[in-house]
Every structure is written in structure tokens, then in C-alpha cells.
Structure 1
Amino acid sequence: MIQPVTLHPSFQVLLVDDEPAWLRSLSLTLERAGISNIASCQDSRKVLPLLEKGQVGLILLDLTMPGYSGEELLEIISERYPDIMVIIISGMNELDTAVRCIKKGAVDYFVKTDMQEHITKGVLRAISSHEMKLVAKGMGQRLLSNKLEHPEAFDEIITCSNSMFSLFKYMESVAISSQPVLVTGESGVGKELVARAIHTLSERRGKRISLNVAGLDTTSFSDTLFGHHRGAFTGAHSTRPGLIEQARGGSLFLDEIGDLDLQSQVKLLRLLQEGEYFPLGSDRPKNAQTRIIAATHQDLQKKVQEGRFRKDLYYRLCIHNVHIPPLRERKGDIPLLLDKFLQNAATEMGKKKPTVPPELLTHLKNYSFPGNIRELQGMVYDAVSTHKSHVLSMQSFLQAMHADAELHTEDSTEPPEPFAQFEDLPSIAECTVMLIKEAMKRADDNQTLASRMLGISQPALSKRLKQLKD
């Protein structure tokens, strides 16, 4: 089965020149660099009607042509279509002409005798710049809008959080870019689900390939990503394409990027900078038509300061940064996630979905969830696996939360100071009032649950609440 081709970039690159041979040569050069969304025009009088279709984002324009000259077209395009970028590629190497064209709005000027590699890099720079403008424009429009354009792309992400909704709008804006995306957040927040959504939104027709780079040495990383030729090393009995080739026209998700060793970081940096790579055993570069999405739970800025992560690679990766907030900062998602996981667990285990005791949600909302969504999912599956009665038992949840609280107490070298905010220490009576109010707040006014938090009986708490009211 032939893999459908993903056009790159998302906008059209229009080549305008009256020389058919030069058009063919330039088209082939750009295609080898991974630029596939190309249109050609030999008649300068047909350029403006083509621009009216709204598909062109970049024009490579010759100066000397019958009909409209290149300079005349440049002036008209700059006036009517200021968002379209124009690069002049002329047969004349004249400084005055180049300066005049730049003043009229051209973003670059090349001579046809320049090395093709030099011209290609200029075109790639222009494409990257235009993509960033489109992203910025899209973000502005989405911030003013109160709805998502493609809500179906986020079906796997269960949330009602406003912060996540804002994140979705940002993801819709950056999806069209071919630049890398860095997904950050604590372990268990759902970084791979976000990577899937970005790939879906990009409408890339190639595959989304995932690789956890933690533990890969330099050789394994190179072989896995770039592939090898037959005879490249002992045991290489046949040519094998790497993941970059398998994800051609799609996305490559590199998880745990913070664990990548420094030598492998250099190789990944070159891939991002040059857009090309060398399979092991080959001296001919291959073009990478793959969008890189990386993810980590680590603080990469701190690793940069410590010299354990390259600064230039960090800035390359985080051109677009999606930071997922932890579950403790979006506790409104807990009921939705709990319901979803209960249904999934019951279905997988062939059981009826159990009823949730009301106090369970209060306990969960007062828990910090260091393992985030993955931890909640584990709790639910464990509880359903031992579930027998109509109402779900809270015992396994309470045991898991208690065990985690003890673990964090043991690990904590500096326990928090509860009275640090007070200049003068409160009295015992004042402390009692504050404790009772905080317990009732955390328990959503459930006296039974609040009394458990305080370690007193429910009647004793009821008596103290009555005294507070009096």
C-alpha cells in the first residue's frame, strides 16, 4: 500500500520564472530538501490570479520576465498581500537591485549562480518564519474565540479544566507548524495523549511513531532513529530503515528526552538544525520529513544549568512548549476521571460498574496525587479487581493514600512549618477553631469525614461546631 504524501509546508510555495529548465531544477532541489507543496508559474501575468486563491504563503520570484517584471510584481504583492513572503532569485548579481528589492518588501535575495544548498537554506528559513507568523495569528484568533475548532482531537483527554481548555487552543494553533513541540509535565499527567492530539491536529498523513529514549546509548539511539545500511556493523545483514524514515510525513514522539545522553543530543540537534541525517554505514544524507514531538517530566532548564543538557538543543525543542498541569491543580477533573476509569475497569474485568460512596470523592480531592492521572487509574483498577458488593469499597484507596503519605513523610528532610505565616503564635483555642474550619472545608461539610481527619468522634465534632455557632 502506497503511503499518502503529506504536503510540506501547509501553505504553497510558488516558483515564478519564465525559464522552464530553471523551474524544473529548482523544484527538484526544494523537493530533495523536503519541500513538497510547490507550484510553478512561467507567465508572470498569471501570478495575481493564483494568489487570489489564498493558498500561497511564499513566492520565489525572478526579476527579468515578459509581462510583469519581478519588481512590478513585488510592489503589487507587498501592497495587496502583505502576509505573503517573497524571495527574489535573479540572474543579475547587482547590489543596488538587491537593496531596492529588500526595501520593497522582499525577505531575501539570491542569484541563480549561488549554490543550491545556500538557496535552499534561505527558503527553509522563510518557511519557518512564515509558519511562526501563522501560529501567532492562529493563537490570537483562538484566544478571542470561546470554542475549539477540532474538539474531536481531544476525545481521549478527560477534563473540564479551563487551564486544559486554554492548552487545547494553543495546541490547535501550533499543530500546523513543522517545528518541534516539547511536552512537559509531571509523570502520569498524560503527555503521550497530548502528543497524539498534536499529531491528529497536524493532519499529517504519515504515521505517529513513539520511542522512549531513556536508557538508549549513542549507538542504539542512532541505529533506532536513523537506521543502517547492510554491512554497517557486525550483524547488519540487511538494510533497515530507522524510525525517522518510518515516520516520514508524520510525527516522531521522543519520550523521556531529558534522559538522552550528550552524544545523542548532538545527533538530534543536527537533525533539527539541518533537517537531514545519515543512516549508519552511509555517507549520503537523507532528508527528514518528520515532525519531532519530545516529552519529559524533568526540569530541562535546570539540566542545562548543570551541563547535562545542551542549551542549543533545549531551545530547538521548546519552540512550542505544551506544559500540562498536575492533577492536584485541576481537581475538578477527578470525578470525570474516576467515572471513566471505573467504567473501563469494570468492562475489562467483566463486572458491573460499582456505585461510588459519596465520601470517596472528598478523600480524593484532598489527596495530592504525586503520580497524577496514572496513580488514580491504578487505584481504581485495584479497587475494582477486589470489588464484590454493590458499593465500591474505599479501603484500597485509603491504604494507597496512607502509604504514599508515609513515604513522603520519610522522604521529607524539611517538614513544613504550619505557623510560619503567623507573627504571633495563635492560642490553642484559636488553633482548634482553625482546624475544625479547615477540616469541614476539606470534607465538603461532611461531619463524619471531618471527624476522621481530626481524630475525634462525630458527636464530639458536632458539639464543637455547635459551640462555634453559639
Structure 2
Amino acid sequence: MSADSLLTFPEAAAMATSIRAKALLFHDPRSVALLEQVERIAHTEATVLVIGETGTGKELIARHIHKRSGRTGPFVAVNCGAFSENLIDAELFGHEAGAFTGAAQARAGWFEAANGGTLFLDEIGDLPLPLQVKLLRVLQERQVVRLGSRRAIALDVRLVAATNIELHHAVEAQHFRADLYYRLSVATVGLPPLRERPGDILPLARHFIGLYATKLRLSNPRLTDEAQAALLAYPWPGNIRELENVIHYALIVCRDGLVRASDFRFSPLQRLAVPPAQAVHEPTLPAATEAPRAAPAPATPAQPADALAAALDRLIAAGPSDLFHTVEAALVQQAFARCRENQVQTARLLGITRNTLRTLLKRHGLLGDAAVAGDAGDEEPPGAAAQRIAPVPSFAH
């Protein structure tokens, strides 16, 4: 395996297994073509937008772009979903002493911290609209003004943004600014899910086997033919991150140095994992709104969109006074129930950000104050983003 075919985080072995995809391998023909595209983009100064499902390795792509760019400054990674709307302004752009309550001293923001290098903004779709305006201005003027200051600070920062939602759909829904979208997508990298690059599955599995075999003091464990077939047949809704966890568990329970298919513990959420494009174009209807099938069956079965149009037509004909509220409430309620009240899965299914989803859930009485407070545990704590500043990655052989 060549140095360029496997991307890993610095000190990846010391990281928690469930944080993010910790390895990205380019063996499948589609992955090889992707790496060639990334290499060409890296040598430019273009702003990059990386689009891919959770767990596909978007940050590893960003780190590789930084390494190949020739920039001498640091690589700084920030999760836009890790901060409240009140804090993210100061975190990104910095603040002066006394700019707000608790600002005892001046502090540089993440843009200044990345000066001379690369700033990676993950979950860019979660950025509130007022901050999108300010980000656009920073990208256009190449300078930043801290909160509480009038002095502009010049920047030499390359921006790489990432999202697991289709931003152009967010633009259509007016959750994301069109001008910022065009500014970010100068160079777009579409990172395919693991199920669409099957040639990477077994090489990645063997990489994780080598990684965890050492930790578990196992002597050269190997996959049986049945186990390999099971790995290739599984759809991997959690992508590389899930593959790592599955291999880790299998090595713990395997016997005689052989990893069998029965050793794998696959996620029960695989039926809830819907690719973003499919979630937008092929909405799933509640059973009550599906048109009954006549006998004999028609030559061309009704598409979900046709059934939805028919249901909406009947509803509009009834003329309720709160039509939009009724339709919106039904969509949000059914999606939330289908995803077993999992906010991350629901937001992905609807093609919106989690912040937007929370607003809709509260609007329709599906999320109380206690639930809002409890859900904060799903995100990174405010201090976590500071711990993600790291030097460029090592490339394992």
C-alpha cells in the first residue's frame, strides 16, 4: 500500500473510535479518480466544498488538500455545529475585551489562528444565516474584524468547507445563502459513500484489523470468505466510521484468529439511512396517504410523488384555513417518527440542518425544553473544537 493510498489522522490510534472516519483509502476505481481530482485542486488557491455523508472522511480530504497545497501555516478544523449561535461569531472571528459579557480579554478567532494555512469548517450547513453574511464578507475582502473592534485584520487563509446535506436544496429552502454557496463551491469534491466504492471495503477492513490486532494482542487474525462476503453485501449507512467499529468488535469476539460473519454486529439503523439526494427527491409517505393498489395491478405503479400530489390536491380542495401549517406539521411529524425521534437522521432525511429541524419540532410541539437541553449532548462540547487544532496528518504505509 503506497503512502498516498491511505490517509490517516495524526496519532489516529489514540483517538476515540466513534468520533469520525479515521482512515481513507483509495483502492476502488472511483476513489482513485477522486484522489486525482483532489490532487489537482490542492495545488490551487480555490475555496473547496467537500460534500459527503457522515463518516466518509471529509476532514481527511481537507487535511490532504492542506498538505498538498504547500501552505506553511497550520491546519485548523472547526465544527460549525459545536457552538451556539451566540458563541460561534466570537469563535470564528474573534473578539476584543469587553465586547460582550464574560469577554475579560481579547481573543483571536479561528480565522486568525489559521492565518497562513487552511481553515476547515465542518457542517457548514449549520451556520446561522447572520453568520453566513459575515463569512461571505470575510471571503470576499480577505480580512476579519473582531467583535467589539473596528480594525480589520488581513488574512491569508484557504477555506475548505464540508457538509453532509445538499446545500443547493438548502438554498432553495432559503436556509442557506445562494451567494455564499457559489463562493464556497468554486471547487466541489463529492465524496461517495462507502457502499458506492466497494473496492475500498476489504482493504479498509484489513487496515483496521492490523490497527486493532496489535492493541488486542492478536496474532495475524484474518477474514473468512463468508465474512468478506458479508462486509461487501452490507450497505454501510455509517460509512468508514461504522466499518471501523464493526471490525473492532469482531476482533474482540472472534475465536482462533478467524473473523467470521457471525462476529459482525451491524447497525439496526441501516433502514433509516437514506442518501441525501434520495431523501429529497423520493419522500416516504405515511401509510395513510398511500394510494391503494387496484386489482389487477396497473402497468405503471404510482410513484410516491404522484401519490403525494393527489393527497395534496384533496387537501387543497377541502380548503383548510391553516393549509401550510397542516402540511408542514404532517411532514415533520412523519419524518421524526420514521427516524424514531432521532434528530440527526430526521434532518438528513428532510435535507435540512439540525438547527432548522429543531425550530420546526418546537413549532409543532414535538420537542419540549427538556428535550432541547438533553439533545445538546449529541454535539461536540464548546471546548472540543479547540482540541481539534492539529498539525497536518501522517500518511501510513
Q: TM-score range by the shorter chain?
A: 0.5 to 0.7
- Which residue number corresponds to residue 187 of structure 1? 54
- Which residue number corresponds to residue 370 of structure 1? 237
Conserved 8 A contact 2:5-2:26: no
Paired residues in the alignment total: 268
Summarize the alignment of residues 283-298 of structure 1 with structure 2, pairs less than 5 Å apart: 283-298=150-165
- Which residue number corresponds to residue 253 of structure 2? 386
Cα distance in 2 for residues equivalent to 1:220 and 1:412: 36
Summarize the alignment of residues 148-167 of structure 1 with structure 2, pairs less than 5 Å apart: 152=3, 155-156=6-7, 157-167=24-34
Cα distance in 2 for residues equivalent to 1:169 and 1:406: 33
Conserved 8 A contact 1:226-1:280: yes
User: How far did residue 216 of structure 1 move?
Assistant: 2.5
- Which residue number corresponds to residue 347 of structure 1? 214
Conserved 8 A contact 1:180-1:317: yes
Summarize the alignment of residues 411-430 of structure 1 with structure 2, pairs less than 5 Å apart: none
Q: Give the AA of the match of 1:298.
A: I
Conserved 8 A contact 1:153-1:200: no
Say whether residues 1:329 and 2:196 are aligned partners. Answer: yes
Taking a change above 3 Å as real, the CA distance of residues 310 and 406 of structure 1, as seen in their structure-2 partners, is closer
User: How far did residue 190 of structure 1 move?
Assistant: 0.8
Aligned-pair Cα RMSD in Å = 2.7
User: How far did residue 223 of structure 1 move?
Assistant: 1.1
User: How far did residue 405 of structure 1 move?
Assistant: 5.0
Conserved 8 A contact 1:180-1:319: yes
Summarize the alignment of residues 64-83 of structure 1 with structure 2, pairs less than 5 Å apart: none
Taking a change above 3 Å as real, the CA distance of residues 301 and 358 of structure 1, as seen in their structure-2 partners, is same
Cα distance in 2 for residues equivalent to 1:153 and 1:412: 41
Relative to structure 2, which stretch is displaced further, 323-332 or 157-166? 157-166
Conserved 8 A contact 1:182-1:322: yes
Encode CA deviations 1:409-445: one digit per residue, 9 max, x unaligned.
9x96589x9xxxx969xxxxxxxxxxxxxxxxxxxxx
Match of 1:400 among 266, 273, 276: 266
Q: Give the AA of the match of 1:368.
A: P
Say whether residues 1:207 and 2:107 are aligned partners. Answer: no
SS in 2 for 1:281: coil
- Which residue number corresponds to residue 220 of structure 1? 87
SS in 2 for 1:286: strand
Encode CA deviations 1:191-216: one digit per residue, 9 max, x unaligned.
11100110001010000000000143
Conserved 8 A contact 1:216-1:260: no
Taking a change above 3 Å as real, the CA distance of residues 337 and 350 of structure 1, as seen in their structure-2 partners, is same
Cα distance in 2 for residues equivalent to 1:361 and 1:317: 39
Taking a change above 3 Å as real, the CA distance of residues 407 and 272 of structure 1, as seen in their structure-2 partners, is closer
Conserved 8 A contact 1:230-1:239: yes
- Which residue number corresponds to residue 245 of structure 1? 112
Say whether residues 1:305 and 2:177 are aligned partners. Answer: no
User: How far did residue 395 of structure 1 move?
Assistant: 2.2
Cα distance in 2 for residues equivalent to 1:199 and 1:155: 16
- Which residue number corresponds to residue 359 of structure 1? 226
Conserved 8 A contact 2:48-2:189: yes
Encode CA deviations 1:110-141: one digit per residue, 9 max, x unaligned.
xxxxxxxxxxxxxxxxxxxxxxxxxxxxxxxx
The normalised TM-score by structure 1 is 0.53
SS in 1 for 2:241: helix
Taking a change above 3 Å as real, the CA distance of residues 368 and 177 of structure 1, as seen in their structure-2 partners, is same
Say whether residues 1:169 and 2:36 are aligned partners. Answer: yes
Cα distance in 2 for residues equivalent to 1:352 and 1:152: 25
Conserved 8 A contact 2:5-2:27: no
Cα distance in 2 for residues equivalent to 1:223 and 1:406: 40
- Which residue number corresponds to residue 98 of structure 2? 231
Q: Give the AA of the match of 1:358.
A: D
Taking only the aligned residue pairs, the percentage that are identical comes to 38
The normalised TM-score by structure 2 is 0.62
User: How far did residue 316 of structure 1 move?
Assistant: 0.4
SS in 2 for 1:277: strand
Q: Give the AA of the match of 1:155.
A: L
User: How far did residue 389 of structure 1 move?
Assistant: 2.6
Taking a change above 3 Å as real, the CA distance of residues 211 and 154 of structure 1, as seen in their structure-2 partners, is farther
- Which residue number corresponds to residue 279 of structure 1? 146
Unaligned runs of at least 5 residues, structure 2: 8-23, 275-282, 288-292, 301-397
Relative to structure 2, which stretch is displaced further, 226-235 or 331-340? 226-235
Cα distance in 2 for residues equivalent to 1:323 and 1:241: 32
Encode CA deviations 1:394-418: one digit per residue, 9 max, x unaligned.
2242x415x3456569x96589x9x
Cα distance in 1 for residues equivalent to 2:78 and 2:4: 22
Taking a change above 3 Å as real, the CA distance of residues 405 and 234 of structure 1, as seen in their structure-2 partners, is closer
User: How far did residue 385 of structure 1 move?
Assistant: 2.3
Encode CA deviations 1:142-170: one digit per residue, 9 max, x unaligned.
xxxxxxxxx74553131212222222222
- Which residue number corresponds to residue 133 of structure 2? 266
Of structures 1 and 2, the one with the larger relative CO (CA 8 A, separation 6+) is 2
Encode CA deviations 1:44-81: one digit per residue, 9 max, x unaligned.
xxxxxxxxxxxxxxxxxxxxxxxxxxxxxxxxxxxxxx
- Which residue number corresponds to residue 39 of structure 1? none
| Structure 1 ranges of 4+ moved more than 3 A | 151-155, 404-409, 411-415
Conserved 8 A contact 1:231-1:237: yes
User: How far did residue 351 of structure 1 move?
Assistant: 2.8
